[in-house]
Amino acid sequence: MPELPEVETIKRQLEKEVVGARIKRVEVPTSPTASKGQGNKCWIGDKQLVVGEKIVEVARMGKYLFIKFGSGRGLMIHLKMTGRLVLNDLDYDTAPHTRAVIFLEDGRKIYYWDTRKFGYIRVEDDIESVMNNLREKMGPEPWEISDVELLRKLQKTSRSIKETILDQNILAGVGNIYGNDGLWLAGINPKRIANSLRLAEVTKLRNSLCNVLERGLATGGASDNTYRDFYGKSGSYQNEFLVYGRTNEPCRKCGRLLVRIVVGGRGTWVCEKCQK
């Protein structure tokens, strides 16, 4: 699943390319069970409502993208597991998993492609209200919260620290890749109960999460699976995973072989010597 670095990469590219552009039309392959104008479950809402709209801003909150229109309407986008937004790659005209095509008045196209169909683009009548409502529910990103504030959040739960930092109501934007790597960098075992962490450990964890997220952003994200950026290019963070996906490979600190376990139903990688 694209996490904060991948979604922020796409947001910056969208911002550069499409702010100021107008939408000419939208094509959505129709599901037999869809209501009129609804298309398939990856496009939610009447596509005619966006025709002629001018894109005035692109925003991101956690793993969500928002395309704002001059009218106050907008698009709320979540890529979920396998979604892609790609600009002007004509191969997607015939790709079997292209779920929507946004035609711009300048002749360019934005493709939404998704193999598993968990992601979506949703038409919103009042995009600012939607963002405000989401902001009230979503936790801050790791660089938006103090160590003491994070400690207070952790003290309220008896879940594992891994499950807790992946909870978007606690910390926004952190997913399985950067959560695993951040915990290893901080030397914290993913199975630790969140409320057992001391302030010094919380400080180290928050700093480590910021470190790996910033590294992910600097490398264009992780393309170990289906992720591509807005230009259809792969990121390179997968070439420097600290622990994620590295079963039976040596720990980069001590050389001990990394172990794959399951925490909260998610694949989790740990050095049993370095992470306490």
Q: Which residues are catalytic?
A: 2-3, 63, 266
Rounded to whole angstroms, the Cα distance separating 161 from 167 reads 10
**Phi and psi dihedrals of 22, rounded to 5?**
-115, 150
Q: Of 205, 202, 188, which Cα lies nearest the Cα of 274?
A: 188
Rounded to whole angstroms, the Cα distance separating 60 from 7 reads 8
DSSP string, 117-136: ---EEEEES-HHHHHHHHHH
Rounded to whole angstroms, the Cα distance separating 274 from 222 reads 24
**Phi and psi dihedrals of 211, rounded to 5?**
-60, -50
SS3 250: strand
Q: How far is CA 127 from the centre of its chain?
A: 19
Rounded to whole angstroms, the Cα distance separating 205 from 21 reads 41
CA 107, 111, 112: angle at the middle one, nearest 5? 155
SS3 90: helix
Rounded to whole angstroms, the Cα distance separating 55 from 20 reads 5
Task: Give residues with Cβ within 8 angstroms of 24, minimum separation 6.
Answer: 51, 103, 104, 105
